[in-house]
């Protein structure tokens, strides 16, 4: 609505819109949308979303962008559960009611789920507001217990949080952050027991000072002969200590502490159980890596002469990447196209064969028994000049 009272449509063509909230600087608008009544599939990525807009100086909106998706951004999909009323705190964190799960989901300005605030008396929560002397009391309303639509009574439940609300800070004259912080809120210790109020009860109007000063009591002198009645305040129940890491902090029927110690948040694993865990910080953006110029390919090292292989070592074959040479006196002999091996040359082997056949050679001559000869006779070798002739005759036999 414009200043003159004229209604202007800012967005159209959406599903069921419900919760709406402004950021602490009035330049960001959050809006819930549901596709389906109700949404049938908890994993439907178009079922339950929150959109983010930029609010221009003239009141128009632009830059529509997805902010949070209850099908993909939660620990387990929750698209079938409606989102209802929303509020922001002075740091820009968004508090979203989950109508049917009895909790408040806290989302950072960057769109990351920070914590879940479980409720003790309300399952179908519908709206919320910040209040209290310091603005850190979050008052939540809805149907008492698990009463169905249009039945039961209305309840009010209070949860302590770490930051005051945006509207409360304005009313109290406090400054509101224009640069959203990334501190994760958690449930703070409760100052007083949470109470439920039936919807039919008419609330009394109570005027409170937003920045209260310490109370002082004026003592009026009384006559000493007049007995005075002594009036004492009723004792205030001590708050339950907050739970430590991994301890239970909420769930349906839970009667223990509903808060966590400093540095922890109460995270709901199911409707029946919530647990204190360490706060999750939003990941820091990773700067992009500048492109690197292509590097020239490294030359393939060639084997040096000192890398030749010894006897029986592989020296070749298809796809062989090693040396293809053999040590002196050896040759690279192919067994197949896949394998070649270093072996002694044929001439060297022939010489060794002759040395085994002829032993005890002297310049004057000798008698050498020859086996495998048909007549088993002996051959007389006279001097070194007869070596080749004797060998030739032997081969003929």
User: Six-digit token pair at 78?
Assistant: 């929750």
Q: Please state whether beta strands 273-278 and 248-250 pair in parallel, antiparallel, or not at all (unpaired).
A: antiparallel
Residue 378: strand pairing partners = 369
Cα–Cα dist 74/45, whole Å = 12
Average confidence (pLDDT) over 111-120 = 95
The candidate with the shortest Cα–Cα distance to 52, out of 62, 41, 38, 39, is 62
Quick check: 194 and 157 in contact, CB under 8 A?
yes
Quick check: 71 and 45 in contact, CB under 8 A?
yes
Give residues with Cβ within 8 angstroms of 232, minimum separation 6. none
pLDDT at position 348 is 60
Backbone angles phi, psi at 190, to 5 degrees: -80, 130
User: What would the DSSP string read from start to end of 55-72?
Assistant: EPTTS-EEEEEEEEETTT
User: Six-digit token pair at 111?
Assistant: 């769109």
Cα–Cα dist 166/200, whole Å = 29
Cα–Cα dist 18/86, whole Å = 9
- To 10 degrees, what angle do helices 387-396 and 346-357 make? 90
User: Six-digit token pair at 286?
Assistant: 């990773």
Helix/strand/coil for 321 = coil
Per-residue pLDDT of 241-265, as tens digits, reads: 888 888 888 887 788 888 888 878 8
The candidate with the shortest Cα–Cα distance to 325, out of 338, 300, 307, is 307
The single residue listed with the structure tokens 């979203």 is 96
Question: Of the CATH numbers 2.120.10, 1.20.950, 2.60.120, 2.30.30, which one belongs to the domain with range 16-200+240-278?
Answer: 2.120.10
* Number of CB atoms found within 10 A of residue 173's CB: 8
Provide the residue ranges of all domains of the chain, joining segments of one domain with +. 16-200+240-278, 311-357, 360-397
The candidate with the shortest Cα–Cα distance to 160, out of 130, 123, 184, is 130
Residue 328 sits at the vertex; the CA angle it makes with 323 and 333, to the nearest 5 degrees, is 55
Give residues with Cβ within 8 angstroms of 358, minimum separation 6. 368, 387, 391
Q: Is the peptide bond before 38 cis (omega within 30 degrees of 0)?
A: yes
Per-residue pLDDT of 297-354, as tens digits, reads: 665 555 454 578 888 888 899 888 888 899 888 889 888 888 898 988 766 666 555 5
Residue 51: strand pairing partners = 31, 66
pLDDT at position 232 is 45
Per-residue pLDDT of 195-213, as tens digits, reads: 443 433 333 333 333 333 3
Average confidence (pLDDT) over 160-169 = 94
Residue 122 CA, chain-centre distance (Å), reads: 31
Long-range contacts of 389-394 (CB under 8 A, 24+ apart): 391/354, 391/357, 391/358, 394/357, 394/370
Rg (CA), the chain: 46
pTM here is 0.49
Q: CA dihedral in degrees (207, 209, 212, 215; nearest 10)? A: -40
pLDDT at position 198 is 40
pLDDT at position 162 is 94
pLDDT at position 383 is 46
Residue 43 sits at the vertex; the CA angle it makes with 18 and 150, to the nearest 5 degrees, is 40
pLDDT band at 46 (very low <50, low <70, confident <90, very high): very high
Residue 260: strand pairing partners = 243
């Amino acid at each position: 609505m414009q200043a003159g009272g004229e209604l202007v449509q800012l967005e159209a063509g959406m599903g069921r819109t419900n919760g709406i909230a402004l950021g602490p600087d009035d330049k960001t608008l959050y809006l819930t949308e549901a596709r389906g009544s109700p949404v049938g599939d908890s994993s439907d990525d178009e079922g339950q979303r929150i959109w983010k807009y930029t609010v221009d100086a003239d009141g128009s909106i632009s830059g529509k962008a997805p902010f949070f998706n209850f099908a993909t951004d939660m620990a387990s999909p929750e698209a079938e559960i409606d989102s209802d009323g929303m509020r922001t705190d002075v740091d820009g964190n968004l508090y979203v009611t989950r109508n049917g799960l009895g909790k408040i989901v806290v989302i950072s300005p960057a769109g990351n789920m920070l914590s879940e605030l479980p409720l003790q008396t309300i399952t179908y929560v519908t709206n919320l507001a910040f209040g209290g002397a310091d603005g850190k009391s979050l008052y939540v309303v809805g149907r008492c217990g698990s009463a169905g639509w249009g039945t039961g009574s209305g309840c009010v439940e209070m949860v302590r949080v770490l930051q005051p609300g945006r509207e409360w800070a304005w009313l109290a004259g406090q400054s509101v952050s224009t640069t959203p912080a990334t501190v994760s809120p958690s449930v703070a210790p409760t100052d007083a027991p949470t109470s439920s109020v039936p919807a039919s009860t008419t609330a009394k109007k109570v005027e409170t000072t937003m920045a209260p000063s310490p109370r002082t009591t004026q003592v009026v002198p009384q006559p000493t002969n007049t007995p005075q009645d002594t009036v004492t305040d009723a004792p205030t129940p001590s708050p339950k200590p907050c739970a430590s890491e991994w301890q239970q902090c909420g769930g349906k029927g839970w009667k223990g502490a509903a808060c966590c110690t400093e540095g922890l948040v109460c995270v709901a694993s199911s409707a029946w159980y919530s647990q204190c865990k360490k706060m999750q910080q939003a990941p820091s953006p990773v700067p992009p890596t500048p492109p690197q110029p292509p590097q020239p390919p490294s030359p393939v090292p060639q084997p040096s002469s000192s890398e030749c292989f010894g006897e029986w070592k592989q020296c070749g074959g298809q796809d062989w990447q090693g040396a293809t040479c053999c040590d002196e006196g050896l040759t690279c002999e192919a067994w197949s196209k896949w394998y070649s091996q270093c072996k002694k040359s044929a001439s060297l082997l022939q010489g060794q064969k002759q040395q085994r056949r002829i032993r005890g050679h002297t310049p004057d001559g000798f008698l050498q028994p020859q086996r495998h000869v048909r007549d088993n006779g002996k051959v007389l070798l006279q001097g070194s000049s007869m070596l080749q002739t004797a060998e030739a005759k032997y081969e003929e036999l």
